[in-house]
Amino acid sequence: MALSQLLTADRIVTLIEPGASDTVLHAAARLLSGDSPITTTLIADSLQSRERMGSTAIGHGIAIPHGRSAAFDEARGAFLRLSHPVDFGASDGEPVDLVFALAVPEHFTQQHLQLLAELAERFADEDYRAALREAADVNALHQLLTSERAPRSATA
């Protein structure tokens, strides 16, 4: 599944006061749910439950919280750029400032793993991470996140 199908511009934000990781997860759940209170609670519980099993921080200031939900028939993504890094318990010890959250349907087993692998590969690129951190606004972030390839590494 292409990230352009997963992520819409209305699910990309910069959090000015991110608080703690639980606050970030709840903000991600709100974005993923479209502000539906019941769905937000279901998704937040799913994200927090997965986070308790082990940190979804993958290093270099990136976290990919993800959870399964019966609320949707298709996977959904949300991207949060944090104005202040937050501790997600990353194995490299770095706090997180870039969060790509996923809510996937219960039956999305293989697709879920493929999405996580694609995201991890994108975020492994140092130039791509830098471009996301330097992006001027939501439109620039959306373009970077939904492009077929990371912009700077393609020319390196």
pLDDT > 80? residue 3: no
To which H or E segment does residue 67 belong? Answer: strand 66-68
Q: Is position 95 within any domain?
A: yes
Q: How far apart are CA 67 and CA 90, in angstroms?
A: 18
Q: Is position 156 within any domain?
A: no
pLDDT > 50? residue 154: no
Q: Is position 79 within any domain?
A: yes
Q: How far apart are CA 68 and CA 43, in angstroms?
A: 8
Selected catalytic residue, list 26, 60, 66, 112: 66
**pTM, 2 dp:** 0.91
Q: Is position 9 within any domain?
A: yes
Task: Decide if 143 contacts 128 (C-beta within 8 A).
Answer: no
pLDDT > 80? residue 7: yes
- C-alpha torsion 128→13→52→62, nearest 10: 10
- What is the CATH classification number for the domain harbouring 41? 3.40.930.10
Q: Containing domain of residue 138, as a range? A: 3-146
Q: Is position 28 within any domain?
A: yes
Q: Structurally, how many domains does the chain consist of? A: 1
Q: Is position 152 within any domain?
A: no
Active site residue 66: yes
Task: Decide if 69 contacts 38 (C-beta within 8 A).
Answer: no
Q: Is position 151 within any domain?
A: no
Which amino acid, one-letter code, is at 136?
A
pLDDT digits (tens, 9 = 90+) for 18-62: 899 999 999 999 999 987 899 999 999 999 999 999 999 999 999
Question: Which of the two residues, 109 and 129, has the higher pLDDT score?
Answer: 129
pLDDT digits (tens, 9 = 90+) for 67-123: 988 888 889 999 999 999 999 999 999 999 999 999 998 877 777 788 889 999 999
Q: Is position 114 within any domain?
A: yes
